[in-house]
A = this chain, B = another copy of it.
Amino acid sequence: MTVTHPQPVVVLVDSQMGENIGASARAMLNCGLTGMRLVRPRDGWPNPAAYSISVGALEKMPPVQVFEQTRDAIADCQFVLATTARARDMVKPSYTAREAATELGRRAAEGQKTAILFGAERAGLDNDDVALAHGLITIPLNPEFSSLNLGQAVLLVAYEWSQISIPAKDPVPPELLPAPHDKFLEMCERLEAELDANNFFRTGGHKSIMIRNLRNMLSRGAMTEQEVRTFHGIITALTGKKTAGQKQD
């Protein structure tokens, strides 16, 4: 994950439990976010419980900044979204977490500094704080059981942010790639010959159809070369024969 654009800052307003601040920090760093700001944390700051639950995240991040007012915490931000559990009676664009990540990323790509607000554990953000935001984030969840704790809500929003710049996957080592097809077919043909010698194909159905079904079955797993050799070993072991040039392994 390479995030070279400005990241959103995460602003926790009126958080009550240090544990939730710590869990939020851990979730943020899991997703590559490092800018945390607190507005009026109930138990002050720094908070030992937060450090303990963050399992090192708070030590690895730049120092958390603490503010008295939400407006001060977002003073330098150019675009602000407020996370809310429910739609509010306000005329504001509303984003799912995934749509929000796209929009935040689009603005980050322009060089905008953005922020995401999260409210207190039970009460959420008050309407005055929501009114400061340019839009809402509502996480679409089971409508009959939608209450997330603070750390979980931060995780989902931060996770969606992290997915908009998806890392290139590590290349797969060659030995884990499927075998060249001729190696595979050679193995099929050996199996079929052995089965034929044991009257397998007399027991029902047309031989050509049975062979096709066998190959369908065996090909779906896309065996590696090592696995093709192993399968040769299985045939050899089961038939009790050695075949020139085939080694068991």
Contacts and interface: CB of A to CB of B under 8 A. Distances in A.
Interface of A: 1, 26-27, 29-32, 55-57, 60, 87, 91, 96, 98, 140-143, 145-149, 151-152, 155-156, 159, 162-163, 166-167, 170, 176, 191, 194-195, 198-200, 203-205, 213-214, 217-224, 227, 230-231, 233-235, 237-240, 248-249
Given A30-B147, A60-B145, A140-B167, 9 more contacts: A27-B152, A32-B142, A140-B162, A152-B155, A194-B237, A198-B240, A203-B249, A204-B249, A217-B230
A234 to B, nearest CB: 6
A222 to B, nearest CB: 7
Nearest to A239: B238
Given A27-B152, A145-B30, A224 B140 contact: no
B217 A220 contact: no
A91 B238 contact: no
Number of copies of this protein chain within its complex: 2
Contact of A140 (B142, B163, B191, B194): B163
A205 to B, nearest CB: 7
Given A146-B30, A148-B30, A227 B55 contact: no
Contacts of A195: 234, 237-238
29 contacts: A1-B140, A1-B141, A30-B141, A30-B142, A30-B152, A32-B141, A32-B142, A56-B145, A60-B145, A87-B170, A98-B163, A140-B162, A140-B163, A141-B159, A142-B162, A152-B155, A159-B159, A191-B234, A199-B237, A200-B233, A200-B234, A203-B233, A203-B248, A205-B249, A214-B230, A214-B234, A217-B223, A217-B231, A235-B238
Contacts of A91: 176, 224, 227
A55 B214 CA distance: 39
Given A141-B31, A163-B140, A221-B220, A237 B170 contact: no
Nearest to A134: B221
A102 B169 CA distance: 18
Given A220-B222, A221-B220, A194 B162 contact: no
